[in-house]
Amino acid sequence: MSILSDFTFRKNERGYSDKAFWILRHTVITATRKLFKPRITNPQFMPLTGPCFIYGNHSNYFDPFMINVGMIAEPTAGVMTRDQFHKTLPRIFMDGIGIVPTSKYVPEPGIVRSVLRMIDQKRMIVIFPEGGRRWDGKPKSLIETTLKLFWKMGIPVHPVQIHGSYLTWPRWADNYRRGSAEVRFLKPLHASDYENYDEFARACIERINFDEYTPPVEAVPTSCSKPAAGIERFLYRCPDTGVNGAVYTPDGVRVYSRNSGMNYRMDVASRLIDSSGHRVSLIELFEQINRMPMQIEREDVLLEKAGSSLSRLDEDQKLVSVGRCHAALKKDGIQLHWGSEHTFIPVHDIRALSVEQNHKLTVNTVEQTLQFNLEGSSALQWQIYINRLKDGEKPVNSL
């Protein structure tokens, strides 16, 4: 890939490459149709050109492509997490259709300039204002700077609901479920129709404020050979005993705990079924785990991961490998050791956290951005625990 490291497509005056658009429609969009069989409802509300914003719920890597399935004349533009731009081919093609990289949850003045340029180019701009994919299918808080951008730009804002996005491929899962997602376009919002920003923001939030764990019947998955594969990323503690890393699946169907009598079979709709045939909500178990106090495992360490690959974002916004490290989450921060080097990141210095690709945790402070690989552990647990520590919660020595 080194010969492609600096390659870019030549773009037209609208800010995208016709060639990149053609290739993506015949590869990724075709794959999206085959995998998820997206059905467009309310096509009369689907924009075909810009300038406009398009926003929606986000649970699945393929959500942007599902939105684009019916847009055959031109691609959408937008912003995408910078992590995807560290890979050669995604960078080439995303740049080729006018996608710009951004850091999650951290304001970047350059992004506003990029969006203004897209508006001048009359682009359809896709932004997922939740800032990342949903883990449990439930609505997340929308990033206020994004809502204010919608409010100030004075162009139509198109809400879209993607029903079946979560259940057809839960973020935590290794395998997708065969099914048919519904891409439901809603009537566009216009800031000028609202008396103030607060009313407009509430309207934006309401449009995608729905629980994806219970979609319309037509969007419920129909088959999957190993629906439980990857469950340890989500159920990161035993729901009965609170022991970390106790939940596992030996075959991608049965779900057990090493520390209790937990014994379920998972169906294609991510419901857990016990020996009596009673269905148990996966989301309720997740919430049960999150209500448990954080527990100190040894001394003042809550979580740790040995042999984690550590990277740092350099001045050119490129990830540079630092080496293998030992990562430990303590009561007051994150301790990282690699070789003879070490660093400590106090909890109160962390400005933003994000989980990339389900197993990489990106930690942003005023001075630096670090990313470490937590493959084999739950990056979601690390993120949740750090946020709970930031909120002032005190861990306990025993349950």
Amino acid at 377: S
Residue 273's DSSP bridge partners are: 265, 279
Question: Which CATH architecture group holds 301-390?
Answer: Roll (2.30)
The DSSP line for 302-354 is EEEEEEEEEEEE-TTS-EEEEEEEEEEEETTEEEEEETTEEEEEEGGG--EEE
Residue 274 per-residue DSSP state: -
Q: CB of 244 within 8 A of CB of 258?
A: no
pLDDT at 357: 86
**Residue 293, preceding peptide bond in cis (omega within 30° of 0):** no
Domains in the chain: boundaries: 2-219, 231-291, 301-390
Q: What are the mean pLDDT values of the chain's consecutive 10-residue runs (399 residues total)?
A: 75 97 97 97 97 97 96 94 76 92 67 93 96 93 94 97 96 96 98 97 97 95 97 98 97 97 96 95 97 92 95 84 94 93 94 91 92 94 98 92
Q: What CATH number does the domain located at 2-219 have? A: 3.40.1130.10
Cα(67)–Cα(76) distance, integer angstroms: 9
Q: What is the pLDDT of residue 240?
A: 96
Looking at residue 294, its pLDDT comes to 97
Half-sphere exposure of 210 (CA within 13 A, CB side): 17
* Beta carbons of 202 and 243 less than 8 angstroms apart: no
Nearest-angstrom CA–CA distance, 173 and 336: 28
pLDDT value, residue 158 = 98
**CA distances in angstroms from 4 to 16, 26, 87, 376, 391, listed in the order given:** 18, 21, 11, 31, 44
